[in-house]
Protein backbone atom coordinates (compact mmCIF):
# COMPACT_ATOMS: atom_id res chain seq x y z
CA UNK A 1 0.00 0.00 0.00
CA UNK A 2 1.30 3.39 -0.83
CA UNK A 3 2.37 5.64 1.91
CA UNK A 4 0.68 8.94 2.48
CA UNK A 5 2.77 11.88 3.21
CA UNK A 6 1.59 13.56 6.30
CA UNK A 7 2.99 16.91 7.41
CA UNK A 8 2.04 18.89 10.51
CA UNK A 9 1.64 22.65 9.88
CA UNK A 10 1.55 25.13 12.75
CA UNK A 11 -1.34 27.55 12.92
CA UNK A 12 1.10 30.42 12.63
CA UNK A 13 2.33 29.10 9.30
CA UNK A 14 -1.06 28.72 7.78
CA UNK A 15 -2.03 31.32 5.16
CA UNK A 16 -4.99 31.76 2.88
CA UNK A 17 -4.44 31.19 -0.72
CA UNK A 18 -5.59 33.86 -3.09
CA UNK A 19 -4.95 34.92 -6.59
CA UNK A 20 -2.33 37.43 -7.46
CA UNK A 21 -3.22 41.15 -7.47
CA UNK A 22 -4.24 42.22 -10.92
CA UNK A 23 -1.91 44.54 -12.56
CA UNK A 24 -3.47 46.66 -15.27
CA UNK A 25 -1.76 48.93 -17.59
CA UNK A 26 -2.81 52.62 -17.19
CA UNK A 27 -5.02 52.71 -20.29
CA UNK A 28 -6.94 49.61 -19.23
CA UNK A 29 -7.16 50.88 -15.64
CA UNK A 30 -8.65 54.16 -16.96
CA UNK A 31 -11.23 52.26 -19.03
CA UNK A 32 -12.12 50.05 -16.05
CA UNK A 33 -12.35 53.07 -13.72
CA UNK A 34 -14.58 54.89 -16.23
CA UNK A 35 -16.82 51.81 -16.57
CA UNK A 36 -17.03 51.44 -12.80
CA UNK A 37 -17.86 55.18 -12.40
CA UNK A 38 -20.46 54.93 -15.17
CA UNK A 39 -21.97 51.80 -13.58
CA UNK A 40 -21.97 53.51 -10.18
CA UNK A 41 -23.72 56.60 -11.65
CA UNK A 42 -26.26 54.39 -13.46
CA UNK A 43 -26.90 52.42 -10.26
CA UNK A 44 -27.25 55.65 -8.26
CA UNK A 45 -29.74 57.09 -10.78
CA UNK A 46 -31.67 53.80 -10.87
CA UNK A 47 -31.75 53.69 -7.05
CA UNK A 48 -32.78 57.32 -6.90
CA UNK A 49 -35.54 56.66 -9.48
CA UNK A 50 -36.71 53.60 -7.56
CA UNK A 51 -36.65 55.59 -4.30
CA UNK A 52 -38.65 58.41 -5.86
CA UNK A 53 -41.15 55.95 -7.35
CA UNK A 54 -41.49 54.22 -3.97
CA UNK A 55 -41.88 57.60 -2.23
CA UNK A 56 -44.53 58.66 -4.79
CA UNK A 57 -46.37 55.41 -4.28
CA UNK A 58 -46.20 55.75 -0.49
CA UNK A 59 -47.15 59.41 -0.71
CA UNK A 60 -50.16 58.46 -2.87
CA UNK A 61 -51.20 55.84 -0.33
CA UNK A 62 -50.81 58.34 2.53
CA UNK A 63 -52.74 61.00 0.54
CA UNK A 64 -55.57 58.51 -0.02
CA UNK A 65 -55.60 57.67 3.69
CA UNK A 66 -55.67 61.38 4.55
CA UNK A 67 -58.48 61.97 2.02
CA UNK A 68 -60.47 59.11 3.54
CA UNK A 69 -59.88 60.47 7.05
CA UNK A 70 -60.83 64.02 6.01
CA UNK A 71 -63.97 62.72 4.28
CA UNK A 72 -64.90 60.81 7.42
CA UNK A 73 -64.26 63.87 9.56
CA UNK A 74 -66.35 66.02 7.21
CA UNK A 75 -69.18 63.52 7.39
CA UNK A 76 -68.92 63.46 11.20
CA UNK A 77 -68.80 67.26 11.31
CA UNK A 78 -71.83 67.50 9.00
CA UNK A 79 -73.71 65.03 11.18
CA UNK A 80 -72.75 66.95 14.33
CA UNK A 81 -73.75 70.24 12.68
CA UNK A 82 -77.10 68.75 11.64
CA UNK A 83 -77.65 67.43 15.18
CA UNK A 84 -76.66 70.78 16.71
CA UNK A 85 -79.04 72.59 14.33
CA UNK A 86 -81.84 70.17 15.18
CA UNK A 87 -81.16 70.55 18.91
CA UNK A 88 -80.99 74.35 18.60
CA UNK A 89 -84.28 74.46 16.73
CA UNK A 90 -85.88 72.19 19.32
CA UNK A 91 -84.53 74.38 22.12
CA UNK A 92 -85.83 77.51 20.35
CA UNK A 93 -89.24 75.85 19.98
CA UNK A 94 -89.32 74.92 23.67
CA UNK A 95 -88.19 78.40 24.76
CA UNK A 96 -90.69 80.11 22.45
CA UNK A 97 -93.48 77.87 23.72
CA UNK A 98 -92.48 78.61 27.32
CA UNK A 99 -92.38 82.35 26.66
CA UNK A 100 -95.68 82.31 24.81
CA UNK A 101 -97.28 80.15 27.46
CA UNK A 102 -95.97 82.47 30.17
CA UNK A 103 -97.21 85.61 28.43
CA UNK A 104 -100.77 86.41 29.42
CA UNK A 105 -103.23 86.96 26.56
CA UNK A 106 -103.94 90.56 25.60
CA UNK A 107 -107.48 90.54 27.04
CA UNK A 108 -106.17 89.28 30.40
CA UNK A 109 -103.57 92.07 30.42
CA UNK A 110 -106.31 94.60 29.67
CA UNK A 111 -108.34 93.27 32.64
CA UNK A 112 -105.20 93.46 34.78
CA UNK A 113 -104.71 97.15 33.89
CA UNK A 114 -108.36 98.00 34.62
CA UNK A 115 -108.29 96.13 37.96
CA UNK A 116 -105.08 97.92 39.01
CA UNK A 117 -106.55 101.34 38.09
CA UNK A 118 -109.80 100.67 39.94
CA UNK A 119 -108.19 99.22 43.06
CA UNK A 120 -105.78 102.13 43.26
CA UNK A 121 -108.71 104.49 44.05
CA UNK A 122 -110.63 102.11 46.30
CA UNK A 123 -109.67 102.34 49.98
CA UNK A 124 -111.41 99.17 51.16
CA UNK A 125 -109.62 96.13 52.40
CA UNK A 126 -110.19 93.42 51.53
CA UNK A 127 -111.40 93.81 47.95
CA UNK A 128 -112.95 90.84 46.18
CA UNK A 129 -112.08 90.69 42.47
CA UNK A 130 -114.41 88.42 40.50
CA UNK A 131 -112.94 87.16 37.23
CA UNK A 132 -113.66 84.59 34.56
CA UNK A 133 -111.90 81.30 35.41
CA UNK A 134 -109.41 81.65 32.52
CA UNK A 135 -108.51 85.21 33.53
CA UNK A 136 -108.27 84.13 37.18
CA UNK A 137 -105.78 81.40 36.25
CA UNK A 138 -103.62 83.91 34.33
CA UNK A 139 -103.85 86.87 36.71
CA UNK A 140 -103.53 85.03 40.04
CA UNK A 141 -99.75 85.45 40.06
CA UNK A 142 -99.70 88.91 38.46
CA UNK A 143 -101.84 90.77 41.00
CA UNK A 144 -99.62 91.19 44.03
CA UNK A 145 -101.82 93.51 46.12
CA UNK A 146 -102.46 91.97 49.58
CA UNK A 147 -105.86 93.67 49.74
CA UNK A 148 -107.15 91.69 46.74
CA UNK A 149 -108.91 88.35 46.95
CA UNK A 150 -109.31 86.88 43.48
CA UNK A 151 -112.38 84.71 42.88
CA UNK A 152 -113.16 82.69 39.75
CA UNK A 153 -116.77 83.46 38.86
CA UNK A 154 -118.67 81.67 36.09
CA UNK A 155 -121.06 84.62 35.70
CA UNK A 156 -118.21 86.94 34.64
CA UNK A 157 -117.24 86.89 30.96
CA UNK A 158 -113.65 86.62 29.77
CA UNK A 159 -111.99 90.03 29.85
CA UNK A 160 -114.45 91.37 32.45
CA UNK A 161 -114.10 91.88 36.22
CA UNK A 162 -116.16 93.02 39.19
CA UNK A 163 -114.57 94.48 42.30
CA UNK A 164 -116.47 94.47 45.59
CA UNK A 165 -115.50 96.13 48.85
CA UNK A 166 -117.25 97.06 52.13
CA UNK A 167 -117.94 100.63 51.04
CA UNK A 168 -118.10 100.27 47.26
CA UNK A 169 -116.84 98.52 44.19
CA UNK A 170 -116.32 98.77 40.49
CA UNK A 171 -118.06 97.03 37.62
CA UNK A 172 -115.35 96.50 35.01
CA UNK A 173 -117.48 94.57 32.53
CA UNK A 174 -117.48 95.67 28.91
CA UNK A 175 -121.19 96.42 29.16
CA UNK A 176 -120.68 98.68 32.20
CA UNK A 177 -117.80 100.46 30.46
CA UNK A 178 -119.92 100.94 27.30
CA UNK A 179 -122.84 102.26 29.36
CA UNK A 180 -120.54 104.71 31.15
CA UNK A 181 -119.11 105.92 27.84
CA UNK A 182 -122.59 106.38 26.34
CA UNK A 183 -123.71 108.26 29.47
CA UNK A 184 -120.71 110.56 29.14
CA UNK A 185 -121.53 111.23 25.48
CA UNK A 186 -125.18 111.76 26.34
CA UNK A 187 -124.29 114.34 28.98
CA UNK A 188 -122.02 116.17 26.54
CA UNK A 189 -124.72 116.20 23.88
CA UNK A 190 -127.21 117.97 26.19
pLDDT digits (tens, 9 = 90+) for 95-113: 877 776 666 666 667 777 7
- pLDDT, tens digit, for every residue of 54-77? 989 998 999 999 999 999 999 999
Element (H, E) at 169: strand 169-171
pLDDT of 143-158, one tens digit each?
Answer: 777 778 888 888 888 8
Q: Which class for 164: exposed (0-12), middle (13-18), buried (19 or more C-beta within 10 A)?
A: middle
pLDDT of 101: 64
Would you state the pLDDT for residue 104? Answer: 62
What pLDDT, on a 0 to 100 scale, did the predictor assign at position 15? Answer: 64
The pLDDT, as a whole number, for residue 102 is: 63
Q: Which CATH architecture fits 106-189? A: 2-Layer Sandwich (3.30)
> The dihedral of CA 121, 127, 131, 136: what is its sign?
positive
Average pLDDT, the chain: 81
Could you tell me the pLDDT band of residue 1, with boundaries at 50, 70 and 90? low
Amino acid sequence: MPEVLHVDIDDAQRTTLHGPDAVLDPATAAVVDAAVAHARDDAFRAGERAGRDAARSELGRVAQAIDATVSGLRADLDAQRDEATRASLELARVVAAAVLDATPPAEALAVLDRVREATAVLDDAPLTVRLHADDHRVLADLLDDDRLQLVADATVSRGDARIEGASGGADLTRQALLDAALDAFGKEAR
